[in-house]
Structures are given as C-alpha cells and as structure tokens.
Amino acid sequence: MRGGIAMWVPSLRLVRLHLASRRAGLALVAIGAVALVIVLPIPRSGGMLGALVPLVVAMGAAAVVGAATASPIGEVERVTGRPLPALRGAAVLLMFGTAIALLAAAAAGRAPAGGSLPLLRACTGLTGITLLTAVAAGPQRSWTLPLAYTILCGHAIERSWRSLWFWPIRAGHDAPAATVAIALLLAGLLAIAVRGTRVSVRS
C-alpha cells in the first residue's frame, strides 16, 4: 500500500527538478518585477487609472504563472512518471502563492485604490483563466485570453458596468466576485494537473 502511494507522491528531488525545468527561478523574478509596479509613484488615487493599475498588475502576474507551465520536453514528459499531476499542481501552487505574497507585500506598502483585496482577487481569478488557456491553447498563448478579458474589464470601468461578468472590478468585499475568482483558480489547477498544457507541434 505504501509503495503504491509512493509511486504517486513526488519526492522533493522530483519537485526541485520539475521547478527547474519550468525555469521557476526566472518566473519568480518576473513576478517580483510585476509586483514592483504597485509601489511606483503613479498617480492613481481614483478614476480609470486607479482601477486599471491593479488589474493590469494582476494580469501580468497571472501571465507569468501561465508561462511557467511550459514543458521543455513536450509529450515525452506525459509518459514518464505517475507523480506528474501532483508535480504540475505543486509547481503552479508555488508560483501562484508567491505571486499573491509579493502582490500583498507591495500593496501593504502602497495600497492601490480600493485596497489590496481587489488586486489579490483579480490575480486569483486571472490565474485560473490563464491556466485554462494554457491547457486549451498552450503556455505560449496562455496570456491572450486574460489580456482580452482585462481589456474588456477596462471598457466596463469606463462604462461603469458592475455586472458579475466583470467580477475583477467589483468592490473588494464582494462575496460573489470572490467566489467566481476562486472557482476559476480551482478549475485551472485541476485542468493543469490532470491534462497538462497543450503541446505545440512544430514541423
């Protein structure tokens, strides 16, 4: 029984190698650079810019998490080891957790308009969208759908739309918006763990 469980649970060495194959170190540096935008002296006390800055920052962090799901060996990885779903999930959780921690730390020093909750909620949901896009279209295109949705949310801000379809721009303590964000993240995590990302075929 224990031997069977061990076959599915990755060792620390496997986790380390998996993270190294995803260039996790570079991804963490990129997430840190994105988080630094929060502390830049950009006038954003309110209005359109005040709402857009945290949304764009959250989208940038989510895009890095999606890019870090790329496998350097493609299909070969899919048939080399049962712990692969756990490895994928652990790697993404590490990237996402780091993104949330860095964004929260940056917002603590200079909170964006509306506080830090909308920023963290947007990062949560947009990461889920990014992961789902990585599964469907590949890591290289994982940023496309989150970017399109961010642009749409910017239009919603301009038009003062507050529908749940635009959950990232709702009030910080909005429970339905938080539920949507968490559901998207969980769906993305499940998809990336079970299916992995789409592998590009090059001739």
Is 200 inside a domain boundary? no
pLDDT beyond 60 at 104: yes
Is 34 inside a domain boundary? yes
Is 108 inside a domain boundary? yes
Q: Tell me, what's the pLDDT at 57?
A: 92
Is 202 inside a domain boundary? no
**Where does the pLDDT of residue 95 fall: very low under 50, low under 70, confident under 90, or very high at 90 and above?**
confident
Q: Which of 45, 167, 186, 185 is nearest to 117 (CA)?
A: 167
pLDDT beyond 80 at 60: yes
How far is C-alpha 22 from the chain's CA centre? 15
pLDDT beyond 70 at 13: no
pLDDT beyond 90 at 123: yes
Q: Is 146 within 8 Å of 58 (Cβ atoms)?
A: no
Is 133 inside a domain boundary? yes
Q: Tell me, what's the pLDDT at 203?
A: 34
125-131-135-138 Cα dihedral, nearest 10 degrees: 120
Q: Is 152 within 8 Å of 139 (Cβ atoms)?
A: no
Q: Is 134 within 8 Å of 192 (Cβ atoms)?
A: yes
Is 203 inside a domain boundary? no
Give the Cα separation of 57 and 34 in Å (integer).
Answer: 6
Is 65 inside a domain boundary? yes
Q: Is 193 within 8 Å of 85 (Cβ atoms)?
A: yes
Q: Tell me, what's the pLDDT at 83?
A: 65
pLDDT beyond 60 at 7: no
Considering only the C-alpha atoms of the chain, give the largest distance between any 2 of them, rounded to a whole number of Å: 60
Fill in the amino acid letter for 56: V
Count the domains in the chain. 1
Predicted TM-score (pTM) of the model is: 0.83
Question: What are the tokens at 101?
Answer: 């921690």
Q: Give Cα separations from 152 to 17, 18, 146, 188 (angstroms).
A: 38, 35, 10, 21
Residue 35, domain extent: 2-194
Is 79 inside a domain boundary? yes
Instruction: Give first-to-last CA distance, the chain, whole Å.
Output: 44
